[in-house]
Amino acid sequence: MACDLDGTCFQFLADRRSSAAATHVLHGSTCCEFTDALLHTLVVMSGYLSYCCIPVSFKHTMAVPPAYSDLGKAAKDIFSKGYGFGVVKLDLKTKSQSGVEFNTSGSSNTDTGKASGSLETKYKMKELGLSVNQKWNTDNTLGTEVTVEDQLAQGLKVGLDTSFVPNTGKKSGKLKTGYKRDYMNIGCDVDFEGPIIHASAVLGYEGWLAGYQMAFDTAKSKLAQNNFALGYRAGDFQLHTNVNDGTEFGGSIYQKVNDELETAVTLAWTAGSNNTRFGIAAKYKLDKDASLSAKVNNASLIGIGYTQSLRPGVKVTLSALIDGKNFNAGGHKVGMGFEVEA
């Protein structure tokens, strides 16, 4: 789409009233006013992308909505994947002829020199809908998760997740259930330590998403968590807003500009505080084997990551975190990661 500064492009400047609404929220308003204002603000920001000749597609293709924890995941991935500040990490993935998957990971902190590692095995019996996942790490914690999916009912997933620490004898367990079908995704977990009930639900219709998440402490008979989210997902564009416990507010935008470039913006603040957190990130695919990632936030922390596929199944990642406010003082972090899949 060509730019037209006379106004035939998305009229970003005409919607400045939305920014004023967001400013009103920062100084105190109801959650409903926040959601309306934040949606206006983020849509205006997506309008700005269109104003700058970045096409924004609103074609939606959604049947089963994502789980609550996956809302806004596309934007989160742009900010988190492709970086590994302050660590040297090695990931090895293999699969046996019998179908057992082995994932081994080891890392070393460049500041403290502390090393850690983990081993994970996965085995799936597709005909029974059964999967068994076992984990071990250098903290000597053993974990086992058994999951059955689409057997009791289509779309229903039931699992038992347990952990055991031999050194202390501490045991924990969690019963997990999830049910998904067109237009809805529901989950309910019972943590036997407490016990605490975690529940969430996401409803979706024509690209619009609304979600609720709660945690109920049965021992104290009170809500330990009370979160709400609202968003829109359509093809290469995603918009997400959330309110956590009525005090923490946030939002994000994800836009896939083309096959090479992906961008994301996040915005967050806490009630009673003037400290607004803002970040912008991008990932650019240089070619089929290499990509460059970059991000910056309002604290002047600049992150840069470079990922290169050396050969099929072998990938290396180099990353650096630069403190823009104290550039000459040092304290910057670098990291390196290797991924091997055989």
Q: pLDDT tens for residues 278-312?
A: 999 999 999 999 999 999 999 999 999 999 999 99
pTM of the model as a whole? 0.77
Domain shared by 281 and 185, yes or no: yes
- Count of CA atoms in the C-beta half-sphere (13 A) of 25: 28
Domain shared by 42 and 185, yes or no: no
Domain shared by 31 and 116, yes or no: no
Determine the structural domain holding residue 12 and report its residue range.
1-56
Confidence of residue 62 (pLDDT cuts 50, 70, 90): low
Indicate the number of domains in the chain. 2
Is the pLDDT assigned to residue 97 strictly greater than 70?
Answer: yes
Domain shared by 11 and 79, yes or no: no
Burial state string for 203-239 with b = 16 or more CB within 10 A and e = fewer than 16: ebeebbbebebebbeeeeeeeeeebbbbbbbbebbbb
Q: pLDDT tens for residues 4-45?
A: 433 333 343 334 434 443 334 334 444 445 445 544 544 444
Q: pLDDT tens for residues 184-206?
A: 999 999 999 878 999 999 999 99
Domain shared by 241 and 258, yes or no: yes
CATH code (residue 284): 2.40.160.10
* Paired residues of 294 in beta bridges: 282, 304
Pairwise CA distance, residues 163 & 171, whole Å: 6
Domain shared by 134 and 189, yes or no: yes
Is the pLDDT assigned to residue 58 strictly greater than 50?
Answer: no
